[in-house]
Structure 1
Amino acid sequence: MALGYRTILTANPTEDNLNDIIKAFSSWITRKKGYAELPSAGTLTHATGATLTAITYANDNGSISAKRWTIVEDWAPPKWYENPETSRTGITNVTLALAEGRLWLWVDVEPPTLLWTNTNGREVEEVQMSGRPTFVQDILNTVNMNDGAAEPVSEFQVIASQSHVEELARILVDSERIGAVFVTAAPDGTDANEWAEKITRLAGQIQGMGIGYALTPEARAIFNRQYGGAGHWVSPGAMRTYLPGVDLSDRQDAYKHRLLHASTLRESSEARIRRILRNAQLKRLNALRIPDVLREVDYEFLRKERLQPFAALHEPLPAEQPAEDEAAVWRALAELAESEVTKALNENKALARRASVAEHLLAEVQAEADEQYALLTATREEAATLARQVDYLRRALTDLGAEGATAAWSFVDQEAPKEYPETFAELLDRVKELSGVRFTGDIEDALELDEHTVLGQAAVMKTWDALLTFNTYSRARDDATFDQSLSHFVTHQKDHSHRVQIGKIVWSESETVKSNDKFRAQRTLPVDTKVDATGKALMVAHLKLSNLTGVAPRLYFLDTYSDVGYVTVGYLGSHMDNTLTN
């Protein structure tokens, strides 16, 4: 199951702290969940059929002792959800451990997974949204908990001075920190305290998963002056998500720490902002390597769970027990063993599938990196040659006199592109200005790419370059300076003088993808009825915008100029399903 919430915090290993944590959790169990008590061992069954199980562990030398409570219960689905086939089981694990001179609190919430088909025919799989368990907030209000060098609090804290900035930097570079640090800066003309309150509300229940700070204009200037040169700047009204172990002196490291642009925070709904922040952290925490001491505890608890069905094997049977009863016991034990083996095989199969996808993606990334490096090298050599040529021609023209000098320095590139959009949201607004290209896809699919700013600015730039190329092609067709197809326009650039600035296009899909009904449905995208009377057409030509993250965004398009006078972009969003993703 996938995570809906995770927090891993520590406190001083005092008896008071341990008792306060258990008291807060016990109160939640009895008051919110309706159990009579918090068990110290064994399983309690609720009237609804939900169960609460407590198990303990201590290693041989006494350096580690731990207790885990597991709640298994059915969750109510969202009101809009209509798929009765999916499991409604949710699991909450709460682990307390005394180890390495610290008291550890580890809370995992694993909600049911929602599965539905969107309007484009793409199967969407998403973890049902879960809030932060209220007992976590009660614990934070009572016990002095820590995440590495940071102290998690509910509200965004205002950073106002040089000393505050230095403390923030100490927290950012801490490699023992597990949760994210959200750093935002008040927009110009906005009071920092008011902004901190607003962002606290926008961020929602992130307590335990992340810690928030809001920079005043003065602190922002200090922070950006000290660390902005290495790319770690925070602009007014924006928010940056800093992962553990930031290298504030490394420009390449800055790309790891996601940026929410001011326009996204300003123009998005509260629900969308919460979803952006929460989903990004859940993906990271789900892949996180748990601290070694907790990995040992987790393994021992898993071992106990898996071996529990076989406990009866080690208990002597009463002498008077009939033989047929003994056979029934062995039969039941064999069935349980078969169930456990099946479970392990299924888990191994899922892991093998994920490994296969990862290996394929790695190969794609390596191939793309090699291609980009070769292209970059060739481009640099060409640029150096052209620069020398321009310098020679300018000197030669200048030697011809005043008229030649004027000609040498008066060139203006009429086709120079406008400034690149900063976000996909801005890109969708500006594409409306391009008469030679039309976006007909699902806007939400494209806007979701702004949630993955680890993609970097390159993905937005590559998309915009493609749209400008499509527009240039249509204009060339309009003024009869080019009369062939878009593919010829892109692949035979030496046949014309128009600007073509676009990444490598994949002009088709595999036969397996094209012959699969589900995959074809996803790639059958909206077009004008002049192109197809049904209002949809199959699009297989696509541009890879990035392979560097799991989202692997793609742009699908169709040359529809002959029918409607423009190129149709039917999809911009995350990688569609194919034989590797299913």
Structure 2
Amino acid sequence: MSVLSRIQWHDKPVGGIAHYLSGARARFTIWATSGEQSTLPDGESPVMMADRERTVSLRSVADRGRSLEGVEGVVWDKTADGWNSTTRWTVVVRVVGDDERVDVMVEDRMETSDPARRVGIARPRVVDDLLGFPGRPRLGSLPLLSAPQAIPANGVPILINDVLRLPGRLLPAVVCTQPYGDDGGRWLARADVIAERVRGFANVFTLDREASWALRDRVGNLGVWNGCVRVYSSAPLDRESDGWRHKSFPLSRLRPSWTAGIDRVVETAAALSARLPTPPPLAIFSPSRGAEAVALDRTAALEADLAEFVAENDTLREELEERDNEVNRLRGHLVRLREELEKAGESHVYWGAKDDPGTDAPDTVQDIEEAILAAQSYLSEDLCLPEKAEHDLACLVASPRAAAWGNTAWRGLRALAAYARYRRETKFPGGFWEWCAEGFPEGWPATEKKLSMTESETVRQSPKFNSCRLLPVSTDVDPSGRTYMYSHLKIAEGGSNISPRIYFHDDTRGKTGKIHVGFVGPHYLMPNTQS
């Protein structure tokens, strides 16, 4: 079961812990029963719902040795989403403390039989009810904001030092900026929507143009400006190499429709919250009988998950060994290049090219969407990648492996462009596989695990499978604007059917002299006999 978000805060319980727990129990019950009831007994209770099967569980706990009292509420929902597809939603609310301090956690979980299902993440409504208690809810030293906080230019140093670079900060900070052009205040409306959805697991700040320039002046490319939104994690924010840890969303991702872009912002902040450890007092909640029964029922599923993780771990270990070998080869190449430049009296060229100047193709990207944007911006002379080639990228961007997949995809796209350029300049007689096998520094691994230049006869002869591979291409290649593409890069192997694939057509000997990418997306959209 995936944890979508984990919302936590602590406060001083106004009126004492007994009063706070009584109110929390009542508010949870009202929310869980859609206002039908305000009290439920300890144990499990079925609740009638029109569109789902719902079970509500309540229990009170106490640790007399530590003078702690607590209450736990759990809602289990089961929905039928279509043919042979079900989704289980779980919201766990835990409140524990004494008369001096109360800790609250609201965890949103989901399990589905449809791995391609898109989920719109937002805080459960019960969070608003619980945050409605009098007090000053905080996580660490930062308060939980209920709305976007505007930061003027002269307040930027405070934002940097007391929020973004605050040691031990747990709450993600979402910074929304004003576009350079007039957008009628839509950027503020977007910030309001984001703040409503992330309430409890992130704080939202807004910077007008002057403030965003002030932030950029102080932190350089680690800042955010011109309508972009950036999610600052608790990772360091000192060097430009820290940038990938703080995900940025350009204005183009928020236009013309807000929905997809805002979903990505919320998913990023929620993923950060889900990794937070729970506070020690919550250990008071040992598994209830109902939870133990659920755990026993899920033993087989957990064993299957374990086997899958072990297999994925083996695959990743092999990839790491291959990468280590590749890094050593590249280091050898750099040493030889430096020696040749020194002989020519041009050693300054080698040392001057160490850092990314920020004016050319980036060394790294944040995710696969950014890899595509970089390819469209910097590789267009050798690579054609139309928007029609992009498929269901949202599930790839939301994955915990988004950064790894993005940078691997970026490497693959650069390899395709480098091959096209090399073919044009040298008339290399082989194809992409042969070029990669030569061991050029910009190449891609010429192995069956990472590269396939065709599909099986079964796939090509099956109308169901083959039709998926009829992909968009320039009309200079085919007047119909489509052609069958079987060659593809395997961005990741094993572990999930959402592992990315990049399908391409080699026209380096044709009219365009380019590589044409017709598909970038998850593996499940390219089914085969093993799907």
TM superposition score normalised by structure 2 = 0.75
Aligned to 1:373: 327
Deviations 1:301-345 (A, max 9, x none): x254356x7xxxxxxxxxxxxxxxxxxxxxxxxxxxxx9655334
Q: Tell me which of 133, 137, 140 is aligned to 2:131.
A: 140
How far apart are 1:211 and its partner, in Å? 0.7
Contact 2:232/2:247 (8 A) holds in 1 = yes
Separation in 2, partners of 1:306, 1:25:
19
Q: 1:98 to 1:514 in 2, by over 3 A?
A: farther
Matches within 5 A, 1:262-341: 262-265=251-254, 267=255, 269-294=257-282, 296-298=283-285, 300=286, 302-305=287-290, 341=296
- Name the counterpart of 2:356: none
Say which of 463, 475, 485 aligns to 2:431: 485
- CA distances 1:281-317 after superposition (whole Å, capped 9, x unpaired): 34344444333332x234x0x254356x7xxxxxxxx
The residue that corresponds to 2:354 in the other structure is none
Question: Measured at CA, do residues 15 and 270 of structure 1 come closer, stay the same or move farther in structure 2, by a change above 3 Å?
Answer: same
Structure 1 residues 429 and 420: alpha-carbon distance in aligned structure 2, compared to 1, 3 A threshold: same
Deviation string for 1:409-461 (max 9, x for gaps)? xxxxxxxxx93278345346458954765669741345766667745985575
2:375 corresponds to 1:420: no
Within a 5 Å distance, the mapping from 1:179-190 to structure 2 comes to 179-188=171-180
1:226-254 deviation per Cα after TM superposition (whole angstroms, max 9, x unaligned): 433xx63223322221222x323355444
Contact 1:5 1:110 in 2 (8 A): yes
**Which of residues 569, 579, 582 in structure 1 aligns to 2:517?**
569
Alpha carbons of structure 1 residues 52 and 484: separation in structure 2 relative to 1, 3 Å: closer
Partner of 1:410: none
Which of 233, 239, 255 is matched with 2:229 structurally?
239
Say which SS state the counterpart of residue 116 (structure 2) adopts: strand
CA deviation string 1:209-268 (max 9, x = no partner): 21111234444344334433xx63223322221222x32335544432212223323x35
Q: CA RMSD of the aligned region, Å? A: 4.7
* 1:348-497 superposed matches below 5 A: 348-368=303-323, 370-391=324-345, 419-420=360-361, 423-424=370-371, 426-427=373-374, 429-430=376-377, 433-434=380-381, 437=384, 442-445=389-392, 454-455=403-404, 462-472=411-421, 475=424, 481-492=427-438
Letter of the structure 1 residue corresponding to residue 138 of structure 2 = N
Of 190-199 and 135-144, more deviation after overlay is shown by: 190-199
1:200 pairs, out of 192, 209, 220, with 192
Aligned to 1:166: 158
Change (3 A) 1:449 1:10: same
**Residue 205 (structure 1) shift:** 0.9
Contact 2:9 2:103 in 1 (8 A): yes
Structure 1 residues 151 and 349, CA, compared in 2 at 3 Å: closer, same or farther?
Answer: same
Number of matched residues? 496
Distance 1:424 1:258, change over 3 A: same
Long gaps (5+) in structure 1: 78-82, 116-123, 310-338, 395-417, 494-499
| Structure whose residues are more often helix by fraction | 1
Confirm or deny: 8 A CA contact 1:95 1:105 kept in the other structure.
yes
Distance, in Å, in 1 between the alignment partners of 2:375 and 2:414 is 13
Structure-2 separation of matches of 1:14 and 1:391? 75
- Provide closer, same or farther for how the CA distance between residues 45 and 455 of structure 1 changes in structure 2, counting only shifts above 3 A: closer
Inter-partner Cα distance in structure 2 for 1:435 and 1:224: 33
CA contact (8 A) 1:238 1:260 kept: yes
Q: Tell whether 2:503 aligns with 1:504.
A: no
| Residue 350 of structure 1, CA deviation | 1.9
Match of 1:7 in 2: 7
TM-score (norm 1): 0.69
Counterpart of 1:328 in structure 2 is none
Deviations 1:31-90 (A, max 9, x none): 76143223252333324463322112222503432211112234474xxxxx33222443
Q: Is the 8 A contact 1:4 1:110 kept in 2?
A: yes
Larger displacement relative to structure 2 (19-28 or 522-531): 522-531
Tell me the CA shift for residue 353 of structure 1.
2.5
Preserved CA contact (<8 Å) 1:10 1:145 = yes
- The letter for the 2-side match of 1:466 is A
Output the CA distance in 2 between the equivalents of 1:269 and 1:465. 30
Residue by residue over 1:484-507, the C-alpha shift from the partner in whole angstroms, topping out at 9 and shown as x without a partner, is 4333444448xxxxxx76332335
What is the rounded CA distance, in whole Å, between the counterparts of 1:450 and 1:87 in structure 2?
Answer: 23
Partner in structure 2 of residue 50 of structure 1? 54
Query: Among 502, 524, 529, which residue is 1:555 paired with?
Result: 502
2:42 corresponds to which residue? 41
Distance, in Å, in 2 between the alignment partners of 1:375 and 1:196 is 50
Residue 352 of structure 2 corresponds to: none
SS of 1:365's partner is helix
2:302 counterpart (319, 344, 347): 347
Q: Which runs of 5+ in 2 are unaligned?
A: 349-358
1 CA distance for matches of 2:393 and 2:77?
Answer: 36
Answer yes or no: is the 8 Å Cα contact 1:42–1:55 preserved in 2: yes
SS at match of 1:54: strand
- How much has 1:7 moved relative to structure 2? 0.9
Task: Return the letter of the residue paired with 2:334.
Answer: R
1:525 to 469, 485, 504: 469
Moved more, 517-526 or 149-158: 517-526
Inter-CA distance 282–366: structure 2 relative to 1 (3 Å threshold): farther
Q: Residue 487 of structure 1 aligns to a residue in which SS?
A: helix
- Between 1:235-244 and 1:557-566, the stretch displaced more is 557-566
Amino acid at match of 1:305: G
Q: Which has the larger radius of gyration?
A: 1
The alignment partner of 2:222 has SS state of coil
> Relative to 1, partners in 2 of residues 1:155 and 1:76: Cα closer, same or farther, differing over 3 Å?
farther
Change (3 A) 1:393 1:16: closer
